[in-house]
Structure 1
């Protein structure tokens, strides 16, 4: 893979809006309880927990959940640490389109989730690139730039 990527997108784990909001609400709850119970010795634990939640949130914003790379003949999805690198050859891709990732309001980040004939990759956002291969398998690749991703893949499928 020494060739230059036509499209590169990094999805960061800590930027998922739902879980970021959850962590911040928990931290605020710890700080409020600490403020009102400051005269007790056990309240210091809540201050430490609140600060720890904020530090973990900051660290998570720098951790890459997965990276989407589009080359001339394939799409490569590279996850973090021990995950497998997924390579989808354009020779087996039948169609590509922009689709809504899910109807649910809250979606968990997933990487290589096999469910009902669909393989899902998602960190955040509403839309995904939906790739269908010749075997009928569907790849849903969540993206912050789904229009650009679909456009680049369609260009490569024409070639």
Structure 2
């Protein structure tokens, strides 16, 4: 898994690192960045603000406090650009060349971000071993199934 032009780190922030498995994810992603040295590392942070569909349509109030929005260590020192978003996807995200997506939640934001890049014609892949879900292992596996249907099995690395 080498030679990535862009790495997109989706929502690896304090508010989503709710299980022990997820709490190890930032250091594993950090190790990957230091080893692979992608040309550009982009991170997204989900902010559930007053205009967020999750707040307006489902009443979910999580990930609204500043502490929930902090990009988890060691990522702040390894990321080139941070996009703050209030939706599952990130419409202003640009990626070039071979792009790898990692992060949280596999079954929600990772899938929507990867599908958006795919729809934009980006050569996008997802590293499932560098993803996880606050919904647990079954939600992570479900996200993998959906990603395989959207991107194709050869794009899951």
TM-score norm. by structure 2 comes to: 0.26
Larger radius of gyration: 1
Q: More helix per residue: 1 or 2?
A: 2
Q: More strand per residue: 1 or 2?
A: 1
TM-score norm. by structure 1 comes to: 0.26
Q: Which has the higher contact order (CA 8 A, sep 6+)?
A: 2
